[in-house]
């Protein structure tokens, strides 16, 4: 600004440019905005607004949980012999013999008077499962199968009591509960209670939805199913902890800064780990899908089918919940913290005052039209220094014949110098050199020392 309050040419625009450089996003962020979808996804610079739609995720997850609970209550599970108890008959047909499972069921029903629960092909063998049969019923069923199909290896039978099956069911349930408690304790110690709640909710969501899908498909629940369930819970927890670690890294010391809010820092963490979660899930799902195909198509039934289905469904649901449920729940619970509330209000107030527009990760992308940045509102005190830093040419100050500023100069003692003007020393300060000659200068210096010590020191001590 000049002495009459007018602005220097180009000062306003260049001041805004200089002040706004501190709010520009990094080069990788700028590159990410210009790149395609896959490039933005792989580099983590896409700024996808994932947490901004968390209400939609809550609705989807709630719908899945409610539907799964209804399936479990009204449709139930098809428990295997290890859980429900019962009798199993198994035999291998002769080479070239084509046997229908429906025919086998009719043969066993006519011999025992009890309709089998299931007749299925397991590999090259046929397995008949039914409620617990008496010894006479087992003998009759085996005799009917031998007389009808005459298997060369005979018919084998096995029985599991209902008491033992009930005990196995209780222990499986206890194993799941202990796992959930251990997860909650670990996350409580590793992070905090709000984060632990988000992870436990995510794991419970995975258990219920996986059980609902299993009930819908109607596959037999065996010990392999329980093993697969515990496995996918560990996978889901692993993926959740990876995202939580990144959130913790991005929010460290967050309340001492005003750049991002807590949800924006968490959204940035999800963007940075999203591609990793997708890659990990896809790589893990490929062999599991192969096991499912082998268990259903090639072998027809058995342990592989039971294990692979629960793992396939659980991994898909776990990958979804670790990103779209665990972190949103933790963020919403964290926003109830008074410290985070105050920090969020402070950040939003600062942006409103500066007129900043930010993306989903909290990086500035522009300004609100009509809102002046802080540099314009404080130009009267900062324009001179900004102009010098930017190399802006100012109007030369007129000088007198002796080289000192004229009466119309805007320079004042202690003010920052302007281009083309000589600085003025504060009033009352000593002169740099002699004004009347070397002799006069020395005499003046000596007089100054004798009169009050206000002149320049000679560097010699008095003797």
What residue ranges do the domains of the chain occupy? Answer: 31-76+165-340, 86-160
pLDDT of residue 35: 62
Question: Measured between alpha carbons, how far is 181 from 231 in angstroms, rounded to an integer?
Answer: 16
pLDDT value at residue 372: 65
**pLDDT reported for residue 275:** 86
Give me the pLDDT at residue 154, please: 83
The predicted pLDDT at position 93 comes to 85
Per-residue b or e along 375-413, where b marks 16 or more CB atoms closer than 10 Å to that residue's CB = beeebeebbbebbeeeebebeebeeeeeeebeeebbbee
What is the CA angle 27-30-32, rounded to 5? 110
Percent of the chain with pLDDT over 70: 68
pLDDT in tens, 23-72: 445 555 544 455 676 777 776 666 788 888 989 999 999 999 999 999 99
Instruction: Tell me which DSSP letter residue 429 carries.
Output: P
* Other beta carbons within 10 Å of 452: 8
Q: What is the mean pLDDT of the chain?
A: 74
The confidence score (pLDDT) of residue 327 equals 92
Q: Which residues contact 175 (CB under 8 A, 6 or more apart)?
A: 226, 230
Residue 70 pLDDT: 95
Closest CA to 231 of 326, 166, 313: 313
pLDDT at 73: 92
Residue ranges in the chain whose pLDDT is less than 50: 1-24, 30-32, 380-411, 431, 433-454, 462-463
DSSP E strands in 92-194: the ranges are 118-122, 125-130, 155-160
Is the CATH code 3.90.45.10 the one for domain 86-160? Answer: no
CA diameter of the chain: 141
CATH code of the domain occupying 31-76+165-340 = 1.20.1640.10
Rg (alpha carbons) of the chain, rounded to whole number: 40
How far is Cα 31 from Cα 45, in angstroms, rounded to an integer?
8
């Amino acid at each position: 600004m000049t002495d009459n309050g007018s602005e220097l040419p180009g000062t306003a625009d260049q001041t805004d440019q200089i002040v706004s450089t501190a709010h520009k996003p990094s080069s990788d962020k700028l590159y990410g905005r210009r790149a395609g979808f896959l490039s933005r996804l792989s580099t983590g610079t896409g700024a996808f607004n994932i947490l901004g739609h968390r209400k939609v995720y809550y609705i989807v997850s709630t719908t899945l949980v409610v539907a799964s609970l209804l399936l479990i209550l009204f449709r139930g599970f098809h428990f295997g012999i290890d859980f429900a108890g019962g009798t199993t008959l198994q035999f291998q047909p002769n080479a070239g013999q084509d046997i229908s499972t429906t025919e086998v069921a009719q043969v066993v029903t006519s011999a025992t008077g009890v309709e089998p629960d299931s007749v299925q092909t397991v590999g090259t063998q046929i397995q008949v499962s039914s409620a617990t049969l008496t010894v006479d019923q087992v003998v009759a069923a085996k005799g009917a199968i031998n007389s009808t199909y005459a298997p060369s290896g005979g018919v084998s039978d096995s029985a599991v009591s209902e008491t033992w099956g009930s005990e196995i069911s209780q222990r499986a349930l206890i194993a799941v509960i202990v796992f959930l408690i251990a997860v909650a304790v670990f996350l409580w110690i590793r992070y905090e209670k709000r984060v632990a709640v988000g992870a436990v909710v995510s794991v419970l969501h995975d258990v219920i939805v996986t059980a609902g899908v299993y009930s819908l498909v109607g596959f037999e629940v065996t010990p392999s199913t329980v093993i697969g369930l515990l496995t996918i819970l560990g996978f889901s927890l692993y993926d959740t902890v990876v995202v939580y670690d990144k959130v913790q890294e991005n929010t460290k010391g967050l309340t001492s800064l005003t750049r991002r809010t807590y949800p924006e820092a968490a959204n940035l963490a999800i963007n940075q780990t999203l591609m990793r979660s997708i890659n990990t899930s896809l790589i893990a799902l490929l062999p599991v899908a192969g096991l499912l195909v082998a268990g259903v198509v090639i072998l027809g039934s058995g342990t592989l089918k039971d294990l692979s289905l629960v793992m396939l469904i659980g991994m898909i649901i776990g990958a979804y919940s670790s990103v779209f449920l665990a972190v949103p729940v933790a963020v919403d619970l964290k926003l109830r913290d008074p410290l985070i509330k105050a920090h969020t209000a402070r950040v939003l107030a600062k942006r409103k005052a500066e007129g900043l527009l930010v993306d989903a990760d909290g990086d500035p992308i522009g300004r609100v039209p009509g809102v002046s940045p802080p540099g314009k509102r404080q130009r009267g005190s900062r324009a001179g220094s900004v102009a010098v830093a930017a190399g802006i040419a100012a109007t030369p100050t007129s000088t007198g014949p002796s080289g000192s500023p004229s009466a119309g100069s805007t320079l004042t003692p202690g003010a920052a110098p302007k281009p083309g003007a000589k600085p003025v020393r504060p009033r009352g300060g000593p002169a740099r050199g002699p004004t009347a000659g070397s002799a006069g200068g020395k005499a003046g210096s000596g007089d100054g020392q004798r009169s009050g010590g206000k002149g320049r020191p000679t560097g010699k001590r008095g003797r």
